[in-house]
Amino acid sequence: MPYNDTVKDMLSHLEGSLSKHLDNIFLPLRTWTREVQISSCAGKPDEAAGGSPRHPDDGVRKEGSGKRIISIGGLTKVFGPRPDAAIKMLENGSSKKEVLEQTSMVVGLKDIALDVHEGEIFVVMGLSGSGKSTLLRCLNRLVEPTRGSIVINGTDIRDLDDKGLRKFRRTQMGMVFQNFGLLPHRTILDNVAYGLEVRGTRAEERHARAQSMIELVGLKGYESAYPSALSGGMKQRVGLARALATDPAILLMDEAFSALDPLIRRSMQDELIDLHDKLQKTIVFVTHDLDEALRLGDRIAIMKDGEVVQVGTPEEILSNPSNEYVASFLNGIDRSKVMTCESLMKRPEVVISRKTGPRTALKMLDDSDQVIGFVVDRDRRFTGLVKAEGLLKALEAAKPLATAVNTSVRTVKPDTKVEELIAILVETDYPIPVLNDDGILMGVIYPGSVMDKVRPDDVTASGEVAL
């Protein structure tokens, strides 16, 4: 046999063997990929289980859905002797840097417009010099705004005289500072009661209130101690108790945990979340730490050079950063610890009533080019799922749909973190139903839709944004 023919035969044999081997490896993968592709087309991310577009406010958790308790409009702060000249430059399009270079005046805030809703934790974050602390201190006029309005519970605090402002601060707001601000010569009980004392509350009443706040923050037994005997985390708890003692409608927290060690800081974050769940206070929390903002905030305002560049829930900011500056903050963030299943769920393509026969159910799957259907009762409560192969067996055996329904299905809630969802997906071979507290099918999460949302963006900002 000529040499060339021998080589051709060997190559042909090798090609055949390799093709067969690759088919054995990749055929299951092709089948799975097809299912994922079908699943990906089963609904759009912005569609709810019923097939209609989902409003941004729909869902189990509605951050900032209460009435507006703080409304800020056109708020501007210029530090310097000629603020009107600086404002005119800003109105003509000059940047904060240009104003500083030409007038030696510092733009702290530029035309801020924000609403804070009752009962939410509203986080303001940004780098040093972004204006976040200036904004917070304008809310109680520790910093006097140059221009704009700040309406709190129907009162524009810029219209208050000194006496009215002092009364407003004592009755409507509490503040927790970064450096604790405790009085070293007073006991913990007297520190916590200080705001009530200034208000003129009787000693017996204010001490009883202070005692209850001390117990609320987990410092029972330290009433007679002095601040010097307490750790940093304990001092911050005292500051928190003092702010809560006056029962303010709004709690302002300025970098409250930034001076604490990481472990203590995490503990204080947990403490704040627990207290918020119990008391439902409106909290405006300033931080430079994105992880802290994502963990605490119902909504977050990100600031840069005195301006707000994006406002949204943690998931909205993670999913749709408004610009490259915001996106740069998100690099390296583990989105699975922040995002919830609500943002990933899609409309299930085939929803089958449990009274449906197996032949009809099989046709529904075939018409939709699906291999899995989701079975619900008349109230749309989830019963289980069916696969095409199970329906075929039921049909051949002349058995009802119920015999083909898998009722041992892992499910999640809309507010389940994606981190937990991923652990479930690893152990299952079907899309995960999303149910509300009543067991009603809200949507479905397909494996192919998870990683695109969770995978961090490879975006690098042109400016330096390291924290």
Mean pLDDT of the chain: 81
**Residue 10 amino acid letter:** M
Alpha helices in 92-186 (DSSP H): 96-103, 132-138, 162-172
Q: Which residues pair with 147 in a beta bridge?
A: 76
Does residue 219 sit in the same domain as residue 359?
Answer: no
Entry pTM: 0.69
Which of the listed residues 337, 362, 384 is the one where a domain comes to its end?
337
Top mean-pLDDT range of 51-55, 235-239, 331-335: 235-239
Q: Which residues pair with 175 in a beta bridge?
A: 252
- For residues 100-111, give the mean pLDDT: 93
Residue 399, pLDDT > 80, answer yes
Q: Lowest-confidence range among 6-20, 65-79, 361-375, 416-430?
A: 6-20
Does residue 278 sit in the same domain as residue 384?
Answer: no
Q: Please give the residue range of the domain that contains residue 431.
A: 41-59+342-453
Q: Which residues pair with 300 in a beta bridge?
A: 123, 312
Taking the C-alpha atoms of residue 467 and residue 464, their distance in angstroms, rounded to an integer, is: 9
Contact 266, 258 (CB under 8 A): no
- For residues 272-276, give the mean pLDDT: 90
Top mean-pLDDT range of 7-11, 170-174, 350-354, 460-464: 350-354
Q: Lowest-confidence range among 42-51, 96-105, 285-294, 348-357?
A: 42-51
- For residues 403-415, give the mean pLDDT: 92
Q: Phi-psi bin for 70: left (phi > 0), alpha (psi -120 to 50), beta? A: beta
End-to-end CA distance of the chain: give it in Å, rounded.
73
6 in any annotated domain: no
Which of the listed residues 337, 361, 393 is the one where a domain comes to its end?
337
Taking the C-alpha atoms of residue 401 and residue 390, their distance in angstroms, rounded to an integer, is: 9
36 in any annotated domain: no
Top mean-pLDDT range of 107-111, 423-427, 447-451: 107-111
233 in any annotated domain: yes
More confident residue, 111 or 456: 111
At 437, which CATH number?
3.10.580.10
Residue 457, pLDDT > 80, answer no
Residue 447: per-residue pLDDT: 80
Does residue 126 sit in the same domain as residue 45?
Answer: no
Does residue 88 sit in the same domain as residue 205?
Answer: yes
11 in any annotated domain: no
Q: Where residue 442 falls among pLDDT bands split at 50, 70, 90? A: very high
Give the DSSP H or E segment for 234.
helix 232-245
Does residue 362 sit in the same domain as residue 253?
Answer: no
Domain count, the chain: 2
Residue 402, pLDDT > 60, answer yes
Give the DSSP H or E segment for 250.
strand 250-254
10 in any annotated domain: no
Does residue 321 sit in the same domain as residue 298?
Answer: yes
381 in any annotated domain: yes
Residue 453, pLDDT > 70, answer no
Residue 208: per-residue pLDDT: 94
Residue 58, pLDDT > 70, answer no
Residue 289: per-residue pLDDT: 87
Residue 86, pLDDT > 70, answer yes
Residue 63: per-residue pLDDT: 45
14 in any annotated domain: no
Per DSSP (E only), the strands in 288-413 are: 299-304, 307-312, 351-353, 372-376, 382-387
Nearest-CA neighbor of 338 among 416, 451, 427, 256?
416
Give the DSSP H or E segment for 79.
strand 68-79
Q: Which two tokens stand for residue 9?
A: 């035969």
263 in any annotated domain: yes
Residue 79: per-residue pLDDT: 95
Q: Where residue 291 falls among pLDDT bands split at 50, 70, 90? A: confident
Q: Which residues pair with 304 in a beta bridge?
A: 307
356-397 pLDDT tens trace: 999 999 999 999 999 999 999 989 999 999 999 999 999 899
Q: Where residue 456 falls among pLDDT bands split at 50, 70, 90? A: low
